[in-house]
A and B are shown apart, each in its own frame.
Chain A
């Protein structure tokens, strides 16, 4: 039933394969990592023909398990040189899950670099289509054209002009449920450029006529999904929109991920002005609360015509619904969807821009161009750090980012190439990257556990790979002790292993907020996975196996423990207001993966 589709771009051919026995429990990140580990030469050039792009819906994608429709993409990253997995919501996880496809492996590249292609997959059909009209255009335009051609509401993933030009900040986009925005990004690590190097613009998945995947042990699966759904609904982070009195209740449904903006600001761990301050005066103006207010205001003013939303699901069957649609204040029409915390931070706070409309516009441009918002924001910061434009100048930042549309613009290429390349080009010595990938929205100096994750993650600086913030700042999983007393290495390792399991299951990582606090939620998660597989899988062992393969790939690519370090300035420049540096010793960083 489950199968692997192998697409060869050398001779424009494809074949179906059975899932090998050793991969029988693998999907999502475990699957992309296993295939990349086993098939891709670790020392290969990420943008030449020996690299591969592996697409894998999470194990439970397409099933009625709540919030389980994520999709993973893997390959060797052109940004970091490491193995890479990036995942996203959108429609494609569900569509491919329903088609019974455990993985699509894209390999080789066409000999002549003239034409652009799209892969179309449906119940009875696989086609490699020449689609030159999808290349060189904005992604809002592209997704509209695809849905005009296919009336079955297909999932679409692919690369925009940034990926087509092999720029290192290019993410893999996905259309949202309504097909109004290409903003469901597996953004990090430049995998969009790998897809572009294969001359593949889009993968279109159409599940018309296909049945939902069936669990092997239906009773166990159903028991599990009910428990998990209850836990998610109950928890104040992931739960319902309003309480019985009609007041806002669930944090994510009301404010989205951007509920974090104010809390990190108050905690003094919100990086601003290119990681030189832990607070930003304008933070509240671009926070989740501000978006909530704007949505309510435009709804009142424009009634049914208002398009702004919160409590918006990013994939079919998501009951946490943390996505949003940010409206234009003047018209109530949709401006961008979603505006996430990381993006509002990278394109707003970090650049000292507190104008919500400017921030939304920068995000919309990234979505249209096919750029990772975190990398793009950090890259613009390098232009500001070196005085090319001023911190706080939103209009200048928008003008700068628009250069990326022009094929012959050198500035446009630089802005799409990541913080490391831009920073080094300008002689900046405060470049916030680990293994070439720029840091997200938590300063590692006052919040040291996340610094350990940034340093040791197999992916380069990445908050999602071991989200210690949940314990360090948010108090998930019981009481929070003084962060300085916590064993940072142990904390980070546990989060990294559990995360690798969740990233493989199809579940959104945010179920962690509920399952770490509510035992029946954790039980529900494992029962659905075990019930689906008809096999028992140990969460930590499974996660550690994934990490082991990733570490092994990176070692073969030439990475050593000296690469598991933060840039020097985090150790030497104290961050106001707490005036602390990153003081976790190297041997504690090395302890995270001492055995692998």
Chain B
């Protein structure tokens, strides 16, 4: 998993920017991972599984997937 911007505080201490860390869960959905790390669904605005945007937190995960979560961000 990778966490960015204001969600970085939920990653294990010492995780570099852009560095992934492993998360072990029993039942494989995005929601499970978020709840395990204590991230509210409201803050998990942008979710990508293997580089592809998924719309909701019930999206299934399988072993070895890369889950990337961003809070609401904007710029330009």
Contact = CB atoms under 8 A, between A and B. Distances in A.
A509 B51 contact: no
B53 A290 contact: no
A122 B72 CA distance: 43
Interface stretch (B1-9, B29-37, B57-65): B1-9
Contacts of A596: none
Given A283-B18, A475-B45, A479-B55, A263 B76 contact: no
B4 A252 contact: no
Contacts of A248: 5-6, 9
Interface residues of B, number: 25
A237 B6 contact: no
Contacts of A256: 75
A341 interface: yes
Interface in B46-72: 46, 48, 51, 53, 55, 68, 70-72
A475 B72 contact: yes
A259 B73 contact: yes
B18 A284 contact: yes
Q: Which one of B4, B19, B71 has the highest number of Cβ atoms from chain A below 10 Å of its Cβ?
A: B4
Interface in B2-23: 2, 4-6, 8-9, 16-19
B6 A266 contact: no
Interface string A244-285: 000111011011111110110111100000000000000111
Nearest to B19: A284
B38 interface: no
B75 A252 contact: yes
Interface stretch (A382-390, A462-470, A523-531, A551-559): A462-470
Query: What secondary structure prevails in chain B residues at the interface with A?
Result: loop
B76 A236 contact: no
Contacts of B9: 247-248
B76 A510 contact: yes
A293 B17 contact: yes
Interface of A: 235-238, 247-249, 251-252, 254-260, 262-263, 265-268, 283-285, 287-290, 293, 322, 341-342, 463-464, 467, 469-470, 473-476, 479-483, 509-510, 513, 577-578
18 contacts: A236-B71, A236-B72, A237-B73, A251-B71, A254-B6, A255-B5, A257-B75, A260-B73, A262-B5, A262-B17, A262-B70, A265-B18, A266-B4, A467-B76, A475-B72, A482-B53, A482-B55, A483-B53
Interface of B: 2, 4-6, 8-9, 16-19, 43, 45-46, 48, 51, 53, 55, 68, 70-76
